[in-house]
């Protein structure tokens, strides 16, 4: 099972990634609506991945929580998480 400090480290890394994305988008002057949609989808994806890791940890199956994996999970939802889990088994 994933340790509490590892979860906090993942959350901190994800927060830094969101901040970096916000800064890059500010520099590129992208629409705030697009930025907000990316952030919300990434947060939802991270939540799905955290729940998956908590349940999958019981069976020895976990997925790393990165910005890309959170975005895939946020955009594609549960099917995206299933595909990432299947790809991690290869």
Per-residue pLDDT tens over the stretch 15-68: 888 888 878 877 777 677 777 787 787 778 878 888 888 888 888 888 887 878
Using CB atoms within 10 Å of the CB of residue 14, give its burial: 0 to 12 exposed, 13 to 18 middle, 19+ buried: buried
The full set of domain ranges for the chain reads 4-89
Return the SS3 of 78: helix
- Whether the pLDDT of residue 1 is over 60: the answer is no
| pLDDT at site 76 | 82
| pLDDT at site 12 | 81
> Max Cα separation, the chain?
44
Please state the pTM of the whole predicted model.
Answer: 0.57
Question: CA–CA separation, 88 vs 9, rounded Å?
Answer: 21
pLDDT band per the 50, 70, 90 thresholds, residue 9: confident
Which has the closest alpha carbon to 50: 34, 62, 35, 68?
A: 62
């Amino acid at each position: 099972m994933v340790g509490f400090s590892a979860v906090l480290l993942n959350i901190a890394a994800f927060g830094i990634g969101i901040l970096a994305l916000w800064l890059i988008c500010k520099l590129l002057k992208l629409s705030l609506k697009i930025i907000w949609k990316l952030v919300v989808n990434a947060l939802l994806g991270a939540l799905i991945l955290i729940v998956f890791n908590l349940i999958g940890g019981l069976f020895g199956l976990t997925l790393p929580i990165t910005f890309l994996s959170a975005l895939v999970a946020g955009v594609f939802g549960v099917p995206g998480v299933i595909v990432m889990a299947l790809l991690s088994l290869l």
